[in-house]
Amino acid sequence: AAKKAGRNNFSEYESCLEKDMLSKITMYEEIKNAIQEEQFELYYQPKHSVKDENIVGAEALIRWQHPEKGFISPGEFIPLAEDTDLIIPLGNWVIRKAFRQYKEWNTISPIDFHLSINISPKQFIDDNFIPFLLRSVEEFSVSPEKIDLEITESLAIENTELTLEKINQLKKIGFKITMDDFGTGYTSLTYLSKFPLDRIKIDQSFIRDITSNKNHAAIVQSLVSVAKNLDIKVTAEGVETKEQLLYLQEWDCDEIQGYYYSKPIPSISFGEYHLENMKIYLMT
């Protein structure tokens, strides 16, 4: 009986694997199709200065509205796009879309903030990445100084030398570089001195409980101070409460991003949000 149960379990496991494979293959085809059918959209989440609460940046975050399945989160399809080569066309689509949007906002009223774009490791080390970026800044007359590329620790760990070379090239052109989700990987502090970063974005898993978890509070506070001494700006990600903001203010963190100010919103609402904030700024 045990043997039989075992075999049953195995075939259940097998068919589970098959289903998993099948759904991955389907998803692959669907992402490919969705790029052509323009099912993707970019949302934007504002970043605010801790000092005066002005908008200092916006992060572009991809959204997929599937015609039958509805909303699919990037946490689901980005990893699959990364496993396959689809992240290259998808990543290129994001860059062009974000630049076009930036140009549009800039036409309405001159933009004083930077635009952050998430770059996957595979995309970042691809030989065509920098040439593509250069063509795109030209096409949409975007100044590279206003573009902040968010990379992750895993990229730096697996391809240290190549990453350093690419960062140097990008910095020479004028692009800004942010290390996203900082603190979640195995990055040691030496990376902070090895890479010429403009900012680090402290991961939300640390920010979430800074007001209740003394260890996380200590880590965040120390990261801010180390980064400051290296002339690296610090963004706190996932700030949801006033209390968290007050802690970060006290520690002299530079920028915050999170639901406390705004969730990621469609480009049109972001344009309004920005204008609204400018008005407040001009009035005070």
| 148-177 binders of ligand C2E (CB under 6 A) | 150
Contact string 106-145 vs ligand C2E (x = CB under 6 A):
------------x-x-------------------------
* SS3 category, 27: helix
CB of 197 to ligand C2E, least distance (A): 16
Selected from 31, 50, 78, 151, the binder of ligand C2E by CB under 6 A is: 78
Rounded to 5 degrees, φ, ψ at 125 are -90, 0
Task: Pick the closer one to ligand C2E by CB: 74 or 185.
Answer: 74
**Judged by CB under 6 A, does residue 258 bind ligand C2E?**
yes
- CA 233 and chain centroid, separation: 16
Q: Could you give the residue ranges of the DSSP H alpha helices within 140-259?
A: 153-158, 160-173, 190-194, 204-207, 214-229, 242-250
**Judged by CB under 5 A, does residue 118 bind Mg ion?**
yes
CB of 239 to ligand C2E, least distance (A): 6
Q: Is 156 exposed, middle or buried (0-12, 13-18, 19+ CB in 10 A)?
A: buried
> Residues touching Mg ion: how many (CB under 5 A)?
5
* SS3 category, 65: strand
Number of helices (H), then strands (E), belonging to the chain: the values are 12, 10
Q: At residue 20, what is the residue type?
A: D
Contact string 168-187 vs Mg ion (x = CB under 5 A):
------------xx------
Contact 110, 103 (CB under 8 A): no
CB of 116 to ligand C2E, least distance (A): 8
**Judged by CB under 6 A, does residue 70 bind ligand C2E?**
no
**Cβ contacts of 22 within 8 Å, gap of 6 or more:** none
CA distance 138 to 231: 29
CB of 155 to Mg ion, least distance (A): 12
CB of 73 to ligand C2E, least distance (A): 5
Q: Pick the stretch among 5-13, 58-66, 186-194, 223-231 that binds ligand C2E (CB under 6 A).
A: 58-66
Q: Is 178 left (phi over 0), alpha (psi -120 to 50) or beta?
A: beta
**Cβ contacts of 90 within 8 Å, gap of 6 or more:** 31, 35, 40, 62, 81
| 201-240 binders of ligand C2E (CB under 6 A) | 204, 237-240
Q: Which does 89 bind (CB under 5 to 8 A by kind): Mg ion, ligand C2E, none?
A: none
**Judged by CB under 5 A, does residue 163 bind Mg ion?**
no
Where on the chain is the footprint of Mg ion (CB under 5 A)? 118, 150, 180-181, 237
Where on the chain is the footprint of ligand C2E (CB under 6 A)? 45, 60-62, 73-75, 78, 91, 94, 118, 120, 150, 180-181, 204, 237-240, 257-259, 264
